[in-house]
Amino acid sequence: MDKILILDFGGQYNQLIARRVRAEHVFAEIRPYSKVTCEDIVRSGYKGLIFTGGPNSVYDPNSPHFDPAILRLGVPLLGICYGHQLTAYMAGGTIAPAEGGSEYGKTKLYVSHCKLFEGVPEESICWMSHTDYVRVIPEGFQVIAHTDNCPCAGIADESAKIYGVQFHPEVTHTEYGTQILKNFVFSVCGCAPDWKMDDFIAGSVEKYRKELSGKKVLLALSGGVDSSVAAVLLHQAIGDRLFCVFVDHGLLRKNEGDFVEQTLGKKLGLNLIRVNAQERFLTKLRGVTEPEKKRKIIGEEFIRVFETEASKLGKLDLLAQGTIYPDVIESGKGDSAVIKSHHNVGGLPKNISFEGIVEPLRELFKDEVREVGTRLGIPRELVWRQPFPGPGLAVRVIGEITEEKLSLLREADAIFREELDNAKLETPCSQYFAVITDTRSVGVMGDARTYGYTLALRSVVTDDFMTAEWARLPYEVLEKASNRITNEVRGITRVVYDITSKPPATVEWE
């Protein structure tokens, strides 16, 4: 399989570059610039290299640099933003602060004919975000693009297959960005489009069938997309030697535990062990109001329950997890199996010893995981599930967690989600749910005075959950949800809508 290596110099769009390349069915991986040597590049047989952007200036004493020998490897290279400046600098060019000041945002781009710009009109729009620029190009290079403010927005040494662009082809604001990346991977690097999810599934099943022959594997199933897809994939390879433990801590949404059991256990035939530990968790949480304490209790209790169940299964050889590629990149390692620190319910048992960890999805982005899930026959409802925090509804019940509050929340949350799903909004929300507050207020129903809880509705739009906008929901949707909740859920007298973005708020309330 042909591969592109993306060398990470600290840019904010690095994952986007990899996703764009993979969308063309060419495998791309991201590695920190400091961990890759020329020998690695040659040994791994990469067909092309992409240097990412980054916040530095090449002249900063601490700025990331690279062995200039990379330019002589004969491997095609595309530098983007800082990567472009660094390429020019390493090849003997000069970098300087842009004379017209920083260039930021949508900018008119003028290109001249070359392999990288095949099919790109002479004038189009690109996305710029830079302070420095390439003032003197290195010997052997030509300027292939400019903007009104930046005389050197692109360089090329076509005979060496080395290119640099000051703008960001990976962001959608660059009109011909996809075309430029396609030109690089196909015309310049000569990659074949052979990264296909069906092949990934077949290859993984075969690999694990061999590698895990005779082994027993344990998997903590949360019912989320990643652990479910990992489970179904491994089940195809090793059948009932995969033991999926699903802990129902009583903090799941309405009908969620049954849904997971029905779909993954009964329909898809996984060897699923559902542990009904609701009482255990609620007892431990009684009287606890402090958010971090709630999380800690749930995390610890989860491990204890999981250990007890695992010990009933006898000797288990390996632990499987639904780690995905962004987890691997964000852990900053990119090369070692680390137990997901932010794993669903705060970690996994430390005192059961395993021979190793199996992470069948560690190369995949979320959209690829979803595609694999769909191809494996997992229902849409599960594959497209919105994220749900490991500590579950515990972080959506403000103050003490009681059965009453949990039950009111489950009903109200189900109504809100149903109304939003029915609304089929043009811009779908990324996550939407209800939160039950600890505040009660007076209401009136018929002729009677009521006194019940205040419920908050939360709905956000985001790409990465690091930042999020509150969703501008149509009033009719909010009105219908509010009417239904106050009518159908006795005990809730007031409904409010959270209009805070992240930052300054977080998505969850606790």
| d(C-alpha 411, C-alpha 489), whole Å | 7
The residue (of 344 and 486) whose beta carbon lies closer to ligand XMP is 344
- Active-site option among 170, 175, 309, 510: 170
The residue (of 59 and 465) whose beta carbon lies closer to ligand XMP is 465
| d(C-alpha 13, C-alpha 427), whole Å | 22
Among 87, 431, 482, 486, binds ligand XMP (CB under 6 A): 431
Q: Which stretch binds ligand XMP (CB under 6 A): 95-103, 225-233, 412-420, 499-507?
A: 499-507
Is residue 40 a contact partner of residue 32, using CB atoms and an 8 Å limit?
no
Site for ligand XMP in 223-252 (CB under 6 A): none
Under the criterion CB under 6 A, does residue 389 sit at the interface with ligand XMP?
yes
Report angle CA 92, 157, 89 to the nearest 5 degrees. 20
Is residue 352 a contact partner of residue 343, using CB atoms and an 8 Å limit?
no
Please name which of 142, 182, 201, 165 lies closest in space to residue 52, comparing C-alpha atoms. 165
389: its two tokens:
């925090």
Among 52, 344, 454, 482, binds ligand XMP (CB under 6 A): 344
Q: Which stretch binds ligand XMP (CB under 6 A): 95-103, 305-313, 375-383, 388-396?
A: 388-396
Please name which of 87, 80, 96 lies closest in space to residue 150, comparing C-alpha atoms. 96
Under the criterion CB under 6 A, does residue 508 sit at the interface with ligand XMP?
yes
DSSP 8-state code for residue 402? -
Under the criterion CB under 6 A, does residue 387 sit at the interface with ligand XMP?
yes
Q: Which stretch binds ligand XMP (CB under 6 A): 104-112, 182-190, 229-237, 501-509?
A: 501-509
Least distance from ligand XMP to the Cβ atom of residue 508, Å: 3
Least distance from ligand XMP to the Cβ atom of residue 337, Å: 19
| d(C-alpha 22, C-alpha 366), whole Å | 12
191 is known as an active-site residue: no
| d(C-alpha 56, C-alpha 86), whole Å | 10
The residue (of 160 and 339) whose beta carbon lies closer to ligand XMP is 339
The residue (of 250 and 452) whose beta carbon lies closer to ligand XMP is 250
Q: Which stretch binds ligand XMP (CB under 6 A): 129-137, 286-294, 312-320, 386-394?
A: 386-394
The residue (of 384 and 465) whose beta carbon lies closer to ligand XMP is 465
- Active-site option among 84, 130, 168, 249: 168
429 is known as an active-site residue: no
Q: Which stretch binds ligand XMP (CB under 6 A): 7-15, 272-280, 359-367, 384-392?
A: 384-392
Identity at 484, one-letter amino acid code:
R
| d(C-alpha 184, C-alpha 176), whole Å | 12
Least distance from ligand XMP to the Cβ atom of residue 502, Å: 5
Under the criterion CB under 6 A, does residue 467 sit at the interface with ligand XMP?
no
Least distance from ligand XMP to the Cβ atom of residue 414, Å: 17
428 burial level (CB within 10 Å; 0-12, 13-18, 19+): middle
Among 391, 420, 457, 489, binds ligand XMP (CB under 6 A): 391
Least distance from ligand XMP to the Cβ atom of residue 435, Å: 11
Q: Residue for token digits 């255990």?
A: 280
Least distance from ligand XMP to the Cβ atom of residue 497, Å: 17
My answer on whether omega of the bond before 169 falls inside 30° of 0, hence cis, is no
Report angle CA 26, 27, 31 to the nearest 5 degrees. 135
Under the criterion CB under 6 A, does residue 507 sit at the interface with ligand XMP?
yes
The per-residue b/e assignment along 296-313, b for 16 or more CB within 10 angstroms, e otherwise, is ebbbebbbebbeebbeee
DSSP 8-state code for residue 34? G
Least distance from ligand XMP to the Cβ atom of residue 295, Å: 6
170 is known as an active-site residue: yes
377: its two tokens:
């026959």
24 burial level (CB within 10 Å; 0-12, 13-18, 19+): middle
Helix (H) or strand (E) segment spanning residue 280: helix 278-285
| d(C-alpha 470, C-alpha 497), whole Å | 10
Under the criterion CB under 6 A, does residue 390 sit at the interface with ligand XMP?
yes
| d(C-alpha 244, C-alpha 227), whole Å | 10
Is residue 124 a contact partner of residue 109, using CB atoms and an 8 Å limit?
yes
| d(C-alpha 128, C-alpha 135), whole Å | 17
390: its two tokens:
């490991």
Q: Which stretch binds ligand XMP (CB under 6 A): 4-12, 17-25, 284-292, 385-393?
A: 385-393
Site for ligand XMP in 91-130 (CB under 6 A): none
Under the criterion CB under 6 A, does residue 14 sit at the interface with ligand XMP?
no
Under the criterion CB under 6 A, does residue 502 sit at the interface with ligand XMP?
yes
Binding-site string for ligand XMP from residue 160 to residue 179, where x marks contact by CB under 6 A and - marks none: --------------------
The residue (of 236 and 344) whose beta carbon lies closer to ligand XMP is 344
Identity at 258, one-letter amino acid code:
D
Site for ligand XMP in 313-342 (CB under 6 A): none
- Find all residues with CB under 8 Å of 279, minimum gap 6, and list them: 250
The residue (of 375 and 502) whose beta carbon lies closer to ligand XMP is 502
Please name which of 498, 285, 248 lies closest in space to residue 399, comparing C-alpha atoms. 285
Residues that are catalytic: 81, 168, 170
| Footprint on this chain of ligand XMP (rule: CB under 6 A) | 344, 387, 389-391, 431, 465, 502, 506-508
